């Protein structure tokens, strides 16, 4: 099989796989998750930027699977906190959770820490953005990459249930709601991952034409 016809996504998250399958399917590509390749150990995330982590993960899993691999690294950047939690977004408060805690428990702890850090920060200084960087590797080099973001502000309390991570705190002033209060279709249309994915798909289409 031509390795370019299947792209392995560096995640076991079914939601991410479904989203990518919908977008990349239009290019004649199939998307597979890591579960099809056995129990591959996760690589350490040591990069200081979203781009570095995405590139490292893509190359690592491409070498481990022998196929093109697409990885993303994404998170929340809060201006008043000097860019934190940044690349540590998913584990911002993991040390405050019991061993083996599930994603919901860790998300709640992350949100609680973020609110505590911003307790005395005025609305005008609570500006933030979600960032997503996508990178595709064949194991030797990065073939295509794209990055995008969405601007917002950190609220004072969680609102909404249609989301995960920091969505209940990420307020969109122009819409008057958090990303967790948006219906899925609208959230995906304006999300950092959705925007980066559409940008990536255009670049990948051009790459495949010239490969």
Name the residues annotated as catalytic.
Answer: 73
* E strands, 40-172, in order: 69-78, 127-137, 142-154, 170-172
Structure tokens at 86: 């940044």
Task: Please give the span between the terminal C-alpha atoms of the chain, in angstroms, as a whole number.
Answer: 16
CA dist., res. 73 & res. 147, Å (int): 10
191 contacts: CB under 8 Å, gap ≥ 6: 130, 132, 150, 179
């Amino acid at each position: 099989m031509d390795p370019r016809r299947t792209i392995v996504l560096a995640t076991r998250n079914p939601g991410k796989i479904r989203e990518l399958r919908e977008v990349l399917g239009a290019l004649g590509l199939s998307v597979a998750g890591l579960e099809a390749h056995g129990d591959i150990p996760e690589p350490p995330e040591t990069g200081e930027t979203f781009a570095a982590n995405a590139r490292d993960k893509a190359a690592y899993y491409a070498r481990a699977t022998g196929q093109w691999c697409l990885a993303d690294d994404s998170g929340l950047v809060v201006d008043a906190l000097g860019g934190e939690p940044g690349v540590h977004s998913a584990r911002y408060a993991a040390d405050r959770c019991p061993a083996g805690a599930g994603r919901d428990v860790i998300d709640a702890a992350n949100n609680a820490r973020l609110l505590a850090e911003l307790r005395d920060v005025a609305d005008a200084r609570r500006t933030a953005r979600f960032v997503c960087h996508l990178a595709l590797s064949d194991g030797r080099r990065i073939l295509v990459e794209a990055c995008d973001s969405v601007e917002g502000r950190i609220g004072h309390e969680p609102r909404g249930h249609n989301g995960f991570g920091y969505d209940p705190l990420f307020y969109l002033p122009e819409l008057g709601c958090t990303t967790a209060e948006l219906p899925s279709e609208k959230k995906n249309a304006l999300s950092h991952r959705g925007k980066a994915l559409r940008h990536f798909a255009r670049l990948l289409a051009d790459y495949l034409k010239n490969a």
